[in-house]
Structure 1
Amino acid sequence: MTAKPRVGEPVAPMDFLTVNSGKISIGQAKDRWTMLFVYRGRHCPRCKRFLNKLDKMLSDWTAIMDVVVVSADTAEKAQQDKDEFGWTFDLAYGLTEAQMRSLGLYVSDPLSEAETSDRFAEPGAFGIRPDGTLMLVDISNGPAARPDLAELLDGMAFNIENDRPVRGIA
């Protein structure tokens, strides 16, 4: 079992390539908070519903923090999703198994070639402070458990506005 990430501690620096031919980085100091959403990949219909909801709320999210969305998918699969769903957030791809484990994510093998061909991360959401430390973590071992995006946004806005301390230190 992968060790769970420790809130209040730095997130390991990671770079992700995006379908817009850019790069997104987490885990270092920046001027804004970041919410990192990890999704299972192109093969997951529940991920699409979740990300469609996120896209509808994206302006509310980006008004207070940066949003990073990443999976272990290839560039081609990520581009297919972006094209099919018309998401306005920048979509990152190529999350490695080492990065998955660094984030404390559950890692799954495909059930069949029809699902996908490689290992992938189960869903996770990570609130990262501007100093690169982890404030909030929500991980799942399967596709059915996801945070309510409106509640999560409301809670994150409260935490940011009130400079709330990290909770749940192990």
Structure 2
Amino acid sequence: MPTPKPIAGSVLAPMSFPKLGGGTVTVGGPKENWTLFVVYRGKHCPRCKKYLNILDGMTSDWADAGFDIAVVSADTQEKAEADQAEFGWGFDLAYGLTEGQMETLGLYVTEPLSTAETDRRFAEPGTFVIRPDGSILLIAISNGPSARPELTELLDGMIFTKNNDRPPRGTV
């Protein structure tokens, strides 16, 4: 029986990933700040790079709004290091997302088209907003690379949500 998909308002059990530069990135569970958690397809995806470059340009805006940013893929450390070296992103970049973690997050999983694409199954995009108490406020998952939340609109909506203490939606 498959793991049920996460539900807005439910608490995400802490999930940790190895972080470039050492240590780990943990999402879920109690935190001081809100978390913007982005799952990207990996080094092979040019649309991911475009999206993450936009996010990198907005890191101070997200931080000013009280958000930590965590980004992860199923890539190996070497592939994540290559992306970091090429793009110089300032957010925490993690790697090694497992298929079990993909399932827990309710992500779509894809078989590579060939070894030229990548050497392992990978998660399609997912964006999550997690409250400081560890509960999931927003879940945006896609089954392909072309559909992701527009980051400026998302930030504006999250600022409104925080300032007005809005509840998670889509819980029925």
TM bucket normalised to smaller = over 0.9
C-alpha separation between the residues in 1 aligned to 2:59 and 2:32? 19
C-alpha separation between the residues in 1 aligned to 2:97 and 2:164? 32
Alignment match, 2:57: 56
Aligned length: 170
1:7 aligns with 2:25: no
Cα deviation, residue 128, structure 1: 0.4
Structure 2 letter corresponding to 1:88: G
Structure 1 ranges of 4+ moved more than 2 A: 1-4
- For each residue in 1:108-135, what CA deviation from the matched residue of structure 2 results, as whole angstroms up to 9, or x when unmatched? 0100000001010000000001010100
Cα deviation, residue 67, structure 1: 0.5
Q: SS at 2:94's partner residue?
A: strand
Whether the 8 Å CA contact 1:70–1:92 is kept in 2: the answer is yes
C-alpha separation between the residues in 2 aligned to 1:163 and 1:101? 29
Alignment match, 1:36: 37
Whether the 8 Å CA contact 1:2–1:106 is kept in 2: the answer is no
C-alpha separation between the residues in 2 aligned to 1:9 and 1:57? 27
Cα deviation, residue 31, structure 1: 1.2
1:1-170 to 2 correspondences below 5 Å: 3-63=4-64, 64-170=66-172
Structure 2 letter corresponding to 1:14: M
Q: SS at 2:58's partner residue?
A: helix
TM-score by length of 2: 0.96
- For each residue in 1:11-58, what CA deviation from the matched residue of structure 2 results, as whole angstroms up to 9, or x when unmatched? 121011111112111111111110100000000000000000000111
C-alpha separation between the residues in 2 aligned to 1:2 and 1:50? 28
TM-score by length of 1: 0.97
Structure 1 segments unaligned to the other structure (5+ residues): none
Structure 1 letter corresponding to 2:19: T
Cα deviation, residue 4, structure 1: 2.6
Cα RMSD over matched residues?
Answer: 1.1
C-alpha separation between the residues in 1 aligned to 2:90 and 2:9? 31
Structure 2 letter corresponding to 1:33: W
C-alpha separation between the residues in 1 aligned to 2:3 and 2:109? 9
Structure 2 letter corresponding to 1:103: L
C-alpha separation between the residues in 2 aligned to 1:34 and 1:55? 15
